[in-house]
Amino acid sequence: MTSVSLTAESAFSGRPEHWHQIDWKHVNQTVRGIQIRIAKATKEEDWRKVKALQRFLTRSFCGRVLAIRRVTENQGRRTPGVDGVLWSTPEAKWAAIGQLKRRGYRALPLRRVRIPKANGKERLLGIPTMQDRAMQALYLLALQPVSETRADRDSYGFRPDRSTADAIMQCYMLLRKKGSAQWVLEADIKGCFDHIDHQWLIDNVPMDKLMLRKWLKAGVVDMGRVWKTEEGTPQGGIISPTLANMALDGIEALLAQHFGAKGSKKLRQYKVGLVRYADDFVITGSSKELLENEVKPLIEKFLAVRGLKLSVEKTQVTHINHGFDFLGWTVRKYQSKLLIKPSRKNTKAFLTKCRDVINANKSAKQENLIHRLNPIIRGWVNYHKHQVASDAFARVDAQLWHALWRWARRRHSKKGKRWIASRYWQHIDNRLWTFADTTIDDLGAEKTVKLVYATDTKIKRHTKVKSEANPFDPEWELYFEELRGKRMRDSLQYRRRVNSLYVQQFGKCALCEQAITHETGWHEHHLIHRVNGGDDSLANLVLLHPACHMQVHHQHISVTKPALSGVS
């Protein structure tokens, strides 16, 4: 593993005096230890101990600085709330530690932002202030061990180490066999985040009731006016997804109570199974009548207590041979064989987005257009690469070729087809038509920038997380380390340099020795700075968390990287 040494004048001594002096390894280990104890107390239903540990964590220095780090390093760190305040400097972050106190805290109204949806409607997001975000992140550290311990086994939305890929794999496992359920209830909750009953949350969510009430009743600023919030939890709040999940947890136990638990004879008869991703879920059943007359009324009654109801337009019962759309995929059986493919709606939306980029860059350089398209293509392909997507990938490549050919023809209306083809397309590897541009970099060397093609990505089955796994249970520690490492290496397969460094460092930051994930992010640090003659070779690079990278430069920490033998 990479080793770290500190210069004498920058060594940490006692309590930190500024932001860049915080020992993040100690902070993460301390918070993690308390969270494990909260999860254990939850499992034992020792609610008095849970409350005491939550109170201890939310008042601790380690909890507060970790909450501030989260809200100042995530994607929304440059989006202010109604007060216009951002914590963008180390001094502001350090001063913010003293603001995260329960006594005297008052939640400010949220700034409303309207996001257009595909159906013409709008999604309403609420943007809290930085202080409110940090307070929610702090109390979420104490609430998440409880929510994960009590969560439904097959709930996959907005939970650590779970994703849409896990949810669709659970659908595959429920429906793939010849004797599996043939009918599916596609359920969608109408305005889930907007209509959850406040009093139900306050009565049933095991956390500080006063703080929860302040966030729920904070109000929103919209169209120059302050509006009261009498129901719902705002989309945009850090703690909101967890609150929504906790409101919906219990559906699985309800179904097991009426239609049999896992492995029971009763369950084999009714074949009732649940897969949920946030407020979208599907329930399998042995017959249409069972789902419509027994399961659906049961779910409606469960939701009504929480102030929710099913969407009439989006809730329906479907036979597996006709197929159904779920999370961007179409799940359907063809002659008793279950296939999961990218849905037509999802593929159309992706192509529309790509065409919009192409049309908006009619006069751009080819290199710039490629740089704009590649992240969109790569993101869509990586989302679908675990399912039966080869045909969809081929169709997408063909459609993009036609769009790019029109783009090129428009630029050179007086040139022939052969000239246009040789100008914008190259023969690279086994592909005769590669949309690529060869340019000269700052050092005078030739570089080729090429478009990402969907068909270049191999289809690879996703490794589903085990339904019963709890990230706050020490018994699952090794399992999650291996799972996260495997998924990170898989996601970094086209970023060879980062992938090699990740493997060399065993997936951990070179400074704090905590896990590097997509959520934490990473920076490449040069051991010998480039201004001092350092290069970009693997021997001169290590991966650091963004906060650790800032700390290394501010504290003049010397990070050394010994030769690693036997690491591939």
The pair of three-digit structure tokens given for residue 385, joined into one six-digit string: 């690469």
Cα–Cα dist 51/146, whole Å: 11
- Closest Cα partner for 296 from 277, 311, 306? 311
- Closest Cα partner for 475 from 36, 34, 145? 36
| Model pLDDT, residue 119 | 66
The residue type at 426: Q
| Model pLDDT, residue 426 | 94
Give the confidence band of 13 by pLDDT, cuts at 50, 70, 90.
Answer: very low
Q: Which residues face 337 on adjacent strands? A: 334
Torsion of CA 539, 545, 550, 553, to 10 degrees: -20
| Model pLDDT, residue 14 | 61
| Model pLDDT, residue 108 | 93
Burial of 106 (0-12, 13-18, 19+ CB in 10 A): exposed
Cα–Cα dist 298/296, whole Å: 5
DSSP 362: T
Encode pLDDT of 517-563 as tens digits: 888 889 999 988 888 888 888 889 999 999 999 899 888 888 877 54
Average pLDDT over residues 378-398: 96
Encode pLDDT of 69-108 as tens digits: 999 988 888 888 888 999 999 999 999 999 999 999 999 9
Tell me what the pLDDT averaged over the chain comes to: 91
| Model pLDDT, residue 235 | 78
Residue 510 contacts residue 543 (beta carbons within 8 Å): yes
Cα–Cα dist 159/150, whole Å: 12
HSE-CB at 174 with a 13 A cutoff on CA atoms is 29
Q: Which residues face 317 on adjacent strands? A: 185
| Model pLDDT, residue 566 | 38
Beta-strand pair 337-342/273-277: unpaired
Residue 197 contacts residue 231 (beta carbons within 8 Å): yes
| Model pLDDT, residue 443 | 64
Q: Where are the domains of the chain?
A: 19-150+189-242, 344-456, 474-555
248 Cβ partners below 8 Å, 6+ apart? 152, 155, 189, 192, 276, 279, 306
Torsion of CA 237, 238, 239, 243, to 10 degrees: 70
The full DSSP string for 413-466 is TTS-HHHHHHHHEEEETTEEEEEEEEEE-TTS-EEEEE---GGGSPP----PPP
Average pLDDT over residues 389-404: 97
Q: Which of 130-134, 185-189, 556-560 has the lowest mean pLDDT?
A: 556-560
Class for the domain spanning 474-555: mainly alpha
Residue 244 contacts residue 200 (beta carbons within 8 Å): no
The pair of three-digit structure tokens given for residue 270, joined into one six-digit string: 């009714």
- Closest Cα partner for 487 from 458, 515, 517, 467? 517
The pair of three-digit structure tokens given for residue 111, joined into one six-digit string: 């700034």
Average pLDDT over residues 274-298: 96
The pair of three-digit structure tokens given for residue 428, joined into one six-digit string: 């690279």
pLDDT at position 22 over 80: yes
Residue 255 contacts residue 295 (beta carbons within 8 Å): yes
| Model pLDDT, residue 233 | 85
DSSP 237: B
Encode pLDDT of 195-217 as tens digits: 999 999 999 999 999 999 999 99
Compute CA distances 116 → 83, 123, 218, 353, whole Å.
Answer: 25, 6, 24, 14
Cα–Cα dist 131/99, whole Å: 7
